[in-house]
Structure 1
């Protein structure tokens, strides 16, 4: 069939049907990978892609140190979000989550990975940044969130826990490191950023953990 030949009705019908099937499949795939409320990638997507994240973002041991660009994982939690839900209702809480997602998208690079983990908790993977650059990115977010006003003039804030990607520990341990840093932020006044590595240097966490090479889960 020449390129200049017009398609008949049957051929057009088949092509239209195939395009419809493709669009439906694409929509279903997108829905399974993203959070319905915020449009960010969801926890399921993070869990499914963590092995690929490790393969892509693992930092060579020679790159350890604050001055070397590497990859960071941060958990971000909206402070006192239950209070907002209880005082203004869940619909207003949803609006805050949507606004938070947009603020995250504006604060980080397009190459950074943003996830909603559920509830008021978000995760960001920042790549190719020194510790100082990562700190500045997270601080920019913290300040941007402070400018979000809740009803009656209340201000919003976030607590953040961050850690460097380390391919020598399990991904569950990596998340635990960021989570410990997050709760240190929350337990010490909220509205601040804590790095797990700083906690470790100050002797605030115990040495633990199996290394990822000890047991092969995948």
Structure 2
């Protein structure tokens, strides 16, 4: 095996999260194959309508590895080829002008196409086609392993182990997007400032459900609750099962008031939903601003304080940490700055 190819495989399989895996995979492909453009499309919340996001979009400008990374975005107009590749898990080739070709390669996990690799390239040789297929299978297998390690086995939401990495990357992408907008030549329309928030959602009196009906029934309630979260919040929001009956939401909103409205809509949806085995379910929610300059432990601690204020004051309510501080209902106290937790 060529030493460069072997090194590429080693680099790919050294990754421990899907985002890093996809970056390494993309770089390996454009180094080994004469690519003009490479896109990794991912299926998002596939239970209902097909929603697709371009996680990686890489343009190669010359043979000296001059790359342009485009921002991830949701696909508004899904091409027939991309749609067919996702729906029927089929490999598609199109010939273009000047000996170029484009192709769509399905990545299948558990009999479902979870991703598609799109290539715009110079006509590939037989050896390059074999190499491309091999890289796709490596990506497919390793993605399956990482998906299991990143997601909660019961609910399918992101788990606590991946929390810090995902929140950090979410914050970094948001900051980069804001900087790009500020540096853009198109400044005719002012951009509305969008903040990032972290909310902790706790199921009220859930211990009674386990005590009365058993843990199997309790798991059914948790699974139904997670499905409600997926249905109610946006594809780009981060949803975690943080432990037991505690969940975390990370999302963007212009103000705390607007976020409070969205959270209240979700709380009402939970209140009115018919859960298995129990007559009704309520939730308490505490949320805070996600400041990228703070320790992640301090941010979670603030949301947790707002949550426990909600639970100590009637449950089935929503409170914002910053509002509670302003109203002098809580005292500001963050963990010491010498915490070992990494900064964003």
TM range (shorter): 0.7 to 0.9
More helix by share: 1
Q: State the match for 2:163 in structure 1.
A: 46
Q: Deviations over 1:67-100 (max 9, x none)?
A: 9531111000011111001111111111111111
User: TM-score, structure 1 length as denominator?
Assistant: 0.81
CA deviation profile, 1:104-126 (whole Å, cap 9, x unmatched): 11211111111110101100011
Change (3 A) 1:204 1:191: same
Stretches of structure 2 that go unaligned for 5 or more consecutive residues are 1-100, 102-122, 179-191
Q: Are 1:37 and 2:168 an aligned pair?
A: no
Gaps of 5+ in 1: 61-66
Q: Report the Cα offset of residue 209 of structure 1.
A: 3.1
Following superposition, the deviation at residue 214 of structure 1 comes to 10
1:39-83 superposed Cα distances (whole Å, 9 cap, x missing partner): 11111111233433443446x9xxxxxx95311110000111110
State whether structure 2 residue 172 is matched by structure 1 residue 55: yes
CA shift, 1:189, in A, is 0.9
Kept in 1, the 8 Å contact 2:301–2:334? The answer is no
User: Are residues 1:182 and 2:307 paired?
Assistant: yes
Provide the C-alpha distance between the structure 1 equivalents of 2:174 and 2:338, rounded to a whole number of angstroms: 17
Query: Which whole-Å CA distance do the structure 2 matches of 1:131 and 1:143 have between them?
Result: 18
CA pair 17-129 structure 1, distance change in 2 beyond 3 A: same
Given the superposition, is the C-alpha separation of residues 96 and 214 from structure 1 closer, same or farther in structure 2, using an over 3 Å criterion? closer
Computing the radius of gyration from Cα coordinates, the structure with the larger value is 2
Contact 1:97 / 1:120 at 8 angstroms: preserved in 2? yes
Distance in 2 of aligned mates of 1:113 and 1:149: 25
Q: Is the 8 A contact 1:113 1:126 kept in 2?
A: yes
Higher relative strand content: 2
Give the SS at the match of 2:217.
helix
Change (3 A) 1:103 1:16: same
Is structure 2 residue 243 aligned with structure 1 residue 118? yes
Tell me: higher relative CO, structure 1 or 2? Use CA pairs within 8 A at least 6 residues apart: 1
Q: Matches of 2:289 and 2:280 in 1, distance apart?
A: 30
